[in-house]
């Protein structure tokens, strides 16, 4: 299994508060990696750095040849509140140089099952904002998909759709990282688990190793 992204010695502080100690993490092809740990452990910070949305103070993220495009689904809305979902998707498609932006927007609205009823981004429910975030991340047809607590506001059917999308990225040789607090999702969808505690990776192993670990329930 080859690494799509290699994070080496990543450190990040906010003011004087160290959110990430020197941290290593690989995102591998054909694998779904769950990132777990208590609130404030540094999961979102690490994911934002893997996405290239936040710079580390030290260390680097090296992208392998298989990771040309990285899609990031942040927890907060990534869209323009004054545009409809379709307008948002067309705008991002143009910004990313996607061919045929209108067709791409229509296809992704269908894929994430988002209604196109003229409502603005700011008027969407949290779940629908998450689905629009996912659609925006998928516009570039990513090799690596980074999902920050993607299903927290979704109903079971919408969750399944999210995971179908994640599996598709993995099954065609991409890599998926998702942050979760949900043990059931972890067991069902992850191939590998990394546990962050106070900004450090304290466990990195297969789901079977994680489940055998006596401390597993302490981490999630
Ligand atoms: P997690 O995703 O595991 O909950 P975060 O990466 O969001 O953790 O945060 C790690 C630590 O950094 C926490 O102590 C949090 O309060 C702090 N932090 C995160 N973002 C900021 C920010 N923009 N400004 C100041 N502190 C922050």
User: What confidence tens digit (pLDDT) does each residue in 95-143 have?
Assistant: 999 999 999 999 999 999 898 888 999 999 988 999 999 999 999 899 9
How far, in Å, from the CA of 37 to the mean position of ligand 1? 13
End-to-end CA distance of the chain: 26
How far, in Å, from the CA of 219 to the mean position of ligand 1? 17
Superfamily of domain 3-69+142-216: P-loop containing nucleotide triphosphate hydrolases (3.40.50.300)
The finding on whether 14 has its CB within 6 A of some atom of ligand 1 is: yes
The pLDDT of residue 69: 92
Q: How many CB atoms lie within 10 A of CB 60?
A: 12
Q: Please give the average per-residue pLDDT across 192-209, as a whole number.
A: 93
One-character DSSP codes across 63-115? E-TT-S-EEEE-SS--S-TTS-HHHHHHHHHHHTT-SSHHHHHHHHHHHTT--
Cβ atoms of residues 135 and 108 within 8 Å: yes
The pLDDT of residue 40: 94
The residue whose CA has the least distance to atom 27 of ligand 1 is: 14
Higher pLDDT, residue 106 or 152: 106
CA dihedral for 49, 54, 56, 60, sign (positive or negative): positive
The most confident of the ranges 40-49, 160-169, 184-193 is 40-49
CA dihedral for 34, 39, 41, 42, sign (positive or negative): positive
Domain locations along the chain: 3-69+142-216, 83-140
- Average pLDDT score, the chain: 91
Sheet bearing 3-14, strands edge to edge: 17-28, 3-14, 58-63
The pLDDT of residue 12: 98
The finding on whether 76 has its CB within 6 A of some atom of ligand 1 is: no
- CA within 13 Å, CB half, 24: 4
pLDDT at 24 over 70: yes
Cβ atoms of residues 116 and 83 within 8 Å: no
How far, in Å, from the CA of 45 to the mean position of ligand 1? 7
Q: Please give the average per-residue pLDDT across 169-191, as a whole number.
A: 91
Q: Please give the average per-residue pLDDT across 24-28, as a whole number.
A: 96
pLDDT at 216 over 70: no
User: What confidence tens digit (pLDDT) does each residue in 202-213 have?
Assistant: 999 998 898 888
Containing H/E element for 195?
strand 192-197
């Amino acid at each position: 299994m080859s690494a799509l992204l290699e994070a080496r010695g990543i450190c990040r502080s906010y003011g004087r508060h160290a959110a990430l100690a020197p941290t290593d993490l690989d995102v591998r092809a054909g694998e779904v990696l769950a990132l777990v740990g208590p609130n404030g452990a540094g999961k979102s910070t690490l994911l934002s750095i893997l996405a290239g949305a936040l710079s580390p103070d030290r260390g680097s993220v090296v992208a392998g040849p298989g990771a040309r495009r990285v899609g990031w689904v942040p927890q907060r809305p990534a869209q323009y509140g004054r545009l409809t979902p379709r307008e948002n998707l067309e705008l991002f498609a143009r910004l990313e140089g996607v061919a045929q932006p209108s067709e791409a927007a229509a296809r992704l609205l269908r894929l994430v099952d988002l209604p196109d009823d003229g409502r603005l981004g700011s008027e969407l429910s949290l779940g629908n904002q998450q689905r629009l975030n996912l659609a925006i991340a998928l516009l570039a047809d990513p090799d690596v998909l980074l999902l920050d607590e993607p299903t927290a506001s979704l109903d079971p059917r919408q969750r399944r759709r999210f995971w179908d999308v994640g599996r598709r990225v993995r099954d065609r040789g991409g890599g998926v990282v998702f942050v979760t607090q949900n043990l059931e999702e972890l067991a069902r969808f992850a191939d590998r688990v990394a546990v962050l505690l106070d900004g450090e990776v304290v466990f990195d192993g297969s789901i079977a190793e994680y489940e055998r670990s006596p401390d597993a329930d302490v981490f999630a």
